């Protein structure tokens, strides 16, 4: 992303990880804060190398600002779904959608604790973080509906979020105690995102196209064909 800076060892780490010759996977690395004044959000500091499974929510497993793959992998999965992501109708989750599509194609998704980038996201107030928190889960809700038949395990994560939200009412932990983020926006925005995706699908049904007004050349060609 244009607000990220590579660690000085990034390309060395990248080359080492891909030296094994394993090509058919997506791999991402650590995301640190670029500016200590920014709030600790949209980062990933996990120290453990691991691969994505249906038991783990794909959102944030590998962040889109630090996601790598071979050209052939990108060609196989195809372009990003532009309904998702900043500026799209579904606001976010374009990278998460890509990870799910990779998994459905049988490609592993791996996180490594190096390949570090520094994210200068610039968000320093609660309002900006709350908005981003809602947008992330709006996109994730749409994702659940998009992949309902091929990846029903995504619904398991919605169930867990709903259960955690109910426990929060009874004194259970928040989603992020440090940033005071609740589970409830996750549940509500998941539902709103799924509804938005359904509306987009309905609105996007193929419409019967009207034939444009014929040009003189078209008329001549038809006359010749007759």
**133 vs 68, 114, 156, 178, 188, CA distance in Å?**
24, 25, 20, 14, 12
pLDDT at 209: 41
Judged against a pLDDT cut of 60, whether residue 126 lies above it is answered with yes
Give the pLDDT score at 206.
52
Q: Phi then psi for 103, rounded to 5 degrees?
A: -60, -40
Task: Tell me if 26 sits within 8 A of 71, measured CB to CB.
Answer: no
Identify the residue whose tokens are 């919605």.
158
Q: Is 70 exceeded by the pLDDT of residue 12?
A: yes
Tokens of 64: 């889109």
What is the pLDDT at residue 205?
Answer: 57
Instruction: Round the average pLDDT of the chain to a whole number and report it.
Output: 92
Does pLDDT of 119 surpass 60?
yes
Whole-number pLDDT of residue 208: 45
Q: pTM of the predicted model, to two decimals?
A: 0.88
Average pLDDT over residues 94-114: 98
Residue 156: C-alpha distances to residues 12, 162, 189 (Å)? 38, 10, 16
End-to-end CA gap in the chain: 57
Task: Give just the sign of the alpha carbon dihedral 81, 85, 88, 90.
Answer: positive
Task: Say how many C-beta atoms besides its own lie within 10 A of residue 197's C-beta.
Answer: 23
């Amino acid at each position: 992303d244009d607000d990220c800076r590579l660690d000085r060892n990034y390309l060395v780490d990248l080359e080492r990880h891909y030296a094994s010759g394993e090509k058919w996977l997506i791999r991402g690395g650590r995301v640190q804060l670029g500016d200590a004044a920014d709030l600790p959000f949209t980062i990933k500091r996990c120290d453990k190398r691991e691969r994505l499974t249906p038991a783990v929510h794909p959102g944030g497993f590998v962040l889109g600002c630090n996601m790598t793959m071979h050209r052939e992998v990108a060609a196989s999965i195809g372009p990003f779904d532009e309904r998702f992501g900043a500026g799209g109708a579904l606001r976010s989750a374009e990278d998460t959608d890509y990870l799910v599509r990779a998994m459905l194609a049988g490609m592993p998704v791996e996180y490594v604790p190096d390949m570090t980038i520094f994210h200068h996201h610039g968000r320093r107030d609660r309002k900006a973080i709350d908005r981003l928190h809602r947008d992330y889960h709006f996109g994730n809700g749409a994702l659940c509906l998009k992949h309902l038949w091929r990846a029903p395990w995504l619904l398991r994560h919605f169930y867990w979020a709903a259960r955690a939200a109910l426990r929060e009412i009874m004194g259970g932990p928040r989603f992020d105690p440090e940033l005071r983020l609740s589970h409830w926006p996750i549940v509500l925005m998941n539902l709103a995102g799924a509804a938005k995706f359904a509306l987009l699908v309905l609105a996007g049904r193929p419409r019967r196209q009207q034939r444009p007004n014929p040009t003189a050349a078209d008329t001549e060609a038809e006359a010749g064909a007759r």
